Chains A and B, each alone.
Chain A
């Protein structure tokens, strides 16, 4: 492992890669700060720029963007009460009241220190857990992978959709349907192309991400522009106050950070759970841990209440890389985008990545840590200046997002059919979002579609067409039972709420 860490460090610490982490963190912070635009959009917008890079550099840039966007999301939560991403909603509960009390700088500093600490602790967990799990996952066979993907898709539908399980599952099926367009991987038979040559190679992953996130986010912002509930209640972006944290606040953070990090990491590892659930659970857990006096401060600017979700959401970000790097199966929408980018570089993540491309495996892990250091030392002092980005009028912001989306697709194919297709999908996605049909399950399903069909093919061929493969092996059976439990819980909670 020490050798691996050194390989990772030597790759991540090259001048180009350090520069990329810095650029990534900076760009991610700016994009993540804009309400409505989260890490998925930020990473998607970066994909075209990474075309010319080697895989390690491209992934390091994206890891920087990821952490930057999460940090940026916290900034808009604290300053505007408008979380950039769902994972920072809980941050606003105490961050925004603190900012209203004239302590916006302090709130941002607490968020930054907590994010850094949570990220650091979870990066250590990742260092230990990822290689061990890689070895274990070598024992996984096709039926296990198939069951694991079903679990991941069910879990993301259950956890990411605010009680709209059926809607999320419909999005999963839609994502899988879109993934079947084009040539069948084994027989080369074309499916669902309707004799259109442009669809023979299937729909590009970048196109789907750009359409359902970047472009559709931009259209949604314009579409809901007249909604008074969405108008940001802006506090002063120039007078943020001091960013110094006193001794008492440091002690409070020191108590909160370890338990929130552990919780966040464990939740992040679970398929589908991710930063949003981690931050809410950490907030709730912290409220139970503190004394009665501190409990009263929750929702009014509590240090514990701000530190806990910020620590947990960053810890969950690192945790979500565990299934991606070790099993090749992303557990969240953001890691699904990362998987798409990895596949674009010709790298198949999974248990063998650790052996075949150790420099990529370790450099991604190490760059996450470097990204957090950069965030702390570069972004924190610049926050008063970066915060002014929030004042950029949407009249300029929206066309620029559309421009980046179209450019990304144009660079890929130099073909206007793809741009038309992207606009069409973006319009449909905008209406679906309006009625709370979640997009992350669609993306995850689209990314996993090919692999899922492949593993199902192998499993059915091995079992001669019988569904026995689902319960023949203990691992498959256990995964299947967990999936059934999640579905059962969703049905139970539906009936309980009705009654």
Chain B
């Protein structure tokens, strides 16, 4: 039996709702609140049941409109590259600072999306981020934490 992607997502949502409901029932409330008409568990319990009912209906009822996605037209390679670059960016931003990590992130993203005009790629990464940082930090007075630039004395 072939299950449609929409029904599969609904099944995942059903599992999530069951887990959410289980966790909701296990929320620790104060002893005096245990039998109150409303406590920290009440709303999540309603939501858990709502999720279970809606996802079950979606699984059981026949699909009126089917969403067809042609996987041959999906660019998995580029999106996986972008997600990996973004994860690396998130991992290093605190360690090497905003300026270098962001500039490298932009440069790498342009490259993996197929860009090869090196000059333009450079301008739209390092000087662009520097200008953006100046706009935020210098003109709009929005604090932008960058330990590296602080260490070399560029930022106060």
Contacts and interface: CB of A to CB of B under 8 A. Distances in A.
Interface string A411-423: 1001110011001
Contacts of B47: 173, 176-177, 180
A465 B29 contact: no
Interface stretch (A111-119, A277-285, A368-376, A394-402): A394-402
A184 B51 contact: no
Nearest to B133: A407
Contacts of B82: 219, 222, 398, 402
Interface in A160-191: 162-164, 166-167, 169-170, 173-174, 176-177, 180, 184, 186-187, 189, 191
A377 B107 CA distance: 37
B67 to A, nearest CB: 5
Given A180-B43, A461-B37, A465-B38, A52 B73 contact: no
Contacts of A162: 65
Main secondary structure, interface of B, reads helix
Contact of A434 (B30, B69, B94): B69
Nearest to A393: B115
A49 B44 contact: no
Interface in B12-29: 13, 17, 20, 23-24, 27-29
A453 B113 contact: no
A395 B115 contact: yes
B100 interface: no
Contact of B40 (A164, A184, A226, A435): A184
Interface string B42-55: 11100100110011
B103 to A, nearest CB: 10
Interface string B62-83: 1011010110111110110011
Contacts of A163: 64-65
B119 to A, nearest CB: 13
Interface residues of B, number: 71
Interface in B105-141: 105-106, 109-110, 113-115, 120, 124, 129, 132, 136, 140-141
Size bin of chain A's contact surface: 35 or more
Q: Which among B27, B90, B91, B94 has the greatest number of chain A C-beta atoms within 10 A?
A: B90
A411 B9 CA distance: 33
A497 B10 contact: no
Q: Which among B38, B61, B141 has the greatest number of chain A C-beta atoms within 10 A?
A: B38
A416 B13 contact: no
A456 B75 contact: no
A52 B138 CA distance: 12
A432 interface: yes
A177 B23 CA distance: 12
Contacts of A420: 87, 90
B74 A224 contact: yes
A81 B83 CA distance: 30
A173 B6 contact: no
Contact of B87 (A49, A398, A423, A456): A423
B139 to A, nearest CB: 9
A395 B73 contact: no
Contacts of A452: 43
A3 interface: no
A460 B42 contact: yes
Given A192-B23, A223-B74, A456 B43 contact: yes
Contact of B29 (A164, A189, A395): A189
Contact of B75 (A180, A224, A399, A436): A224
Contacts of B13: 170, 174
A461 B40 contact: no
Contacts of A184: 40
Given A407-B102, A416-B90, A416-B94, 14 more contacts: A163-B64, A173-B47, A177-B44, A223-B74, A223-B76, A224-B74, A227-B73, A393-B115, A396-B115, A398-B109, A419-B90, A432-B9, A460-B42, A461-B38
Cβ-closest 5 pairs across A and B = A465-B37, A399-B109, A419-B90, A184-B40, A227-B73
12 contacts: A163-B64, A167-B58, A224-B75, A226-B73, A226-B74, A227-B74, A396-B110, A416-B91, A423-B90, A430-B79, A431-B9, A498-B62
